[in-house]
Amino acid sequence: MNIIKKKLTISGHVQGVGFRYFTSTEAKQRNLNGWVKNKDDGTVEVLLSGEKNHVQEMIARLHEGPASAVVNNVREVPVKNNNQPDGFNILRS
pLDDT band for position 1 (cuts 50, 70, 90) = confident
Q: How far apart are CA 46 and CA 65, in angstroms?
A: 13
Model pTM score: 0.93
Q: How far apart are CA 84 and CA 44, in angstroms?
A: 20
pLDDT band for position 92 (cuts 50, 70, 90) = confident
* Catalytic hit among 38, 53, 61, 75: 38
Examine the residue annotation and report whether 92 is marked as an active-site residue of this protein.
Answer: no
pLDDT > 70? residue 93: no
* Catalytic hit among 20, 31, 83, 89: 20
pLDDT tens per residue across span 42-65: 999 999 999 999 999 999 999 999
Question: Which residue type, as a one-letter code, is found at position 67?
Answer: A
pLDDT > 70? residue 87: yes
Examine the residue annotation and report whether 20 is marked as an active-site residue of this protein.
Answer: yes
Lowest mean pLDDT among 14-23, 25-34, 74-83: 74-83
